[in-house]
Amino acid sequence: MSLSPVKQQILETMLPYEKPVRAMEIAKDCQKEFPQIMMHILGLIRMGYVISPEKGLYVITAKGKQALGSPQINKEKAISILAYAPHEKAFEFYCNVGQPLHLHAHSLRDFAKKLEKASILSIEFHTKRGDFAAWFAGLGDEELAQKAEMLKNKNLTGEELRKQLYDIVEQRYLELVKLSGQAIPTEEEHTHTHPQ
C-alpha cells in the first residue's frame, strides 16, 4: 500500500522517537497544521502503521517502520549489529576534513560513549555529511541509518543535536540487546554515574 506524501512525512518524523509522542509535536516537526496531521495519524492507525498506547500519544509500529523500508531485525542480525568492529571499520571522529580527534567507536555502545566526549563541531560536521548514517548502514542497521538521516534533515545544532543523536543510538542499542537475547546492562554499567 503506497503512502501519501504527508503520511510518509509523519512516519519519518515519528521514526526517531522510540517513546510515544503527541500529535501536536508531530505537527510542529512536520510544519503542518494540527487538524491535518491528526486526520492522517488516524488513517495511519487504521492502516496499522501507528498505535496509540494511551490517549493523545502515538508511536510508529513495526509495520510502519517496514513501510519506510526498515527491515525486520532477527536475533542473529541484532548480534551482528552489536558486534565489536575491528579498528579499520571503527567510526573515527573528525572536526573537519584532515582534522581527526583520535576518537574511535568500535560498536554502538562505544559510539554512544564517544558521542558524549566528541566536540560539538565534530558531531555537526559528521551529521551534515551523513557520516553517522553511513556508518550505521555499514554495521547493517538500516533503521538506525534512517533515523540518523532524518535527524540530519532537522538541521539541529549544538547540544540539542548531541542529545537527540545520543537518545536515538541509546534506544536502538537497548532494543537490539533485547532482540539479541543478551543481558541488558545494569544501570551502573549502562550510564555514566558521577559521584555525589
- Report pLDDT digits (tens) over 87-146: 999 999 999 999 999 999 999 999 999 999 999 999 999 999 999 999 999 999 999 999
Which domains does the chain show, CATH number per domain? 5-67 (1.10.10.10), 75-187 (no CATH)
pLDDT value, residue 186: 59
Q: What type of residue is 5?
A: P
Q: What is the mean pLDDT of residues 51-60?
A: 93
Residue 24: per-residue pLDDT: 94
- pLDDT band of residue 74 (cuts 50, 70, 90) is confident
Q: How far is CA 35 from CA 23, 40, 45, 139, in A?
A: 9, 9, 15, 39
Grid cell, residue 89, equals 571499520
Count the alpha carbons within 13 Å of 149 in the hemisphere toward its beta carbon.
Answer: 14
Per-residue pLDDT at 196: 31
* Lowest pLDDT segment from 33-37, 166-170, 192-196: 192-196
* Residue 195 pLDDT greater than 50, yes or no: no
Question: Around Cβ 81, how many Cβ atoms within 10 Å?
Answer: 22
* The pLDDT of residue 62: 86
DSSP 113-146: HHHHHS-HHHHHHHHHHTHHHHHHHHHT-HHHHH
Q: Which three cell numbers stand for residue 119?
A: 566536540
Element of type H or E holding 62: helix 62-67
For residue range 32-52, list pLDDT tens digits in order.
999 999 999 999 999 999 999
Instruction: Tell me the percentage of the chain whose pLDDT exceeds 70.
Output: 93
176 dihedral zone (left: phi>0; alpha: psi -120 to 50; beta): alpha
Answer whether 172's CB lies under 8 Å from 144's CB. Answer: yes
pLDDT of residue 185: 67
Half-sphere exposure of residue 174: CA atoms within 13 angstroms, side-chain side: 13
Higher pLDDT, 106 or 72: 106
Q: Is the pLDDT at 147 greater than 60, yes or no?
A: yes
Question: What integer pLDDT is reported at residue 70 of this predicted model?
Answer: 79
Instruction: Give the per-residue pLDDT at 190.
Output: 44
Residue 189 — very low, low, confident or very high, per pLDDT cuts 50/70/90?
A: very low
Contact between 47 and 1 under an 8 Å Cβ cutoff? The reply is yes
What is the model's pLDDT at position 86?
Answer: 92
What does the block give as the cell for 150? 532524518
Higher pLDDT, 15 or 165: 165
